[in-house]
Chains A and B, each alone.
Chain A
Amino acid sequence: SELTQDPTVSVALGQTVRITCQGDSLRNYYASWYQQKPGQAPMLVAYGRDNRPSGIPDRFSGSKSGNTASLTITGTQAEDEADYYCNSRDTNGVHWVFGGGTKLTVL
Chain B
Amino acid sequence: QVQLVQSGAEVKKPGASVKVSCKTSGYIFSHHAIHWVRQAPGRGLEWVGWINGGSGNTKYSEGLQGRVSITRDISASTAYLELSGLRSEDTAVYYCVREGPSGYYGQFDYWGLGTLVTVTS
Residues on A facing B (Cβ under 8 Å):
29-30, 32, 34, 36, 41-44, 47-48, 51, 53, 85, 87-89, 94-101
Cβ of B105: which chain A residues have Cβ within 8 Å of it? Answer: 30, 32, 47-48, 51
Interface size on B, residues (CB 8 A): 22
Contact A96 B112 (CB under 8 A): no
- Tell me how far the C-beta of B30 lies from the nearest C-beta in chain A, rounded to whole angstroms: 20
Contact A42 B111 (CB under 8 A): yes
Expressed in whole angstroms, the Cα–Cα distance for A17 and B109 within the complex equals 23
Expressed in whole angstroms, the Cα–Cα distance for A48 and B106 within the complex equals 8
Q: Tell me if B113 counts as interface (CB < 8 A to partner A).
A: yes
Expressed in whole angstroms, the Cα–Cα distance for A43 and B114 within the complex equals 12
- Tell me how far the C-beta of A39 lies from the nearest C-beta in chain B, rounded to whole angstroms: 10
Task: Please pick, from A32, A97, A99, the residue contacting B107 in the complex, using a CB distance under 8 A.
Answer: A32
Known: A41-B111, A95-B62, A101-B45. 17 other contacts (CB 8 A): A29-B106, A30-B106, A32-B106, A34-B108, A36-B45, A42-B95, A44-B108, A47-B107, A85-B44, A88-B106, A89-B106, A95-B47, A95-B59, A96-B35, A97-B47, A98-B47, A99-B44
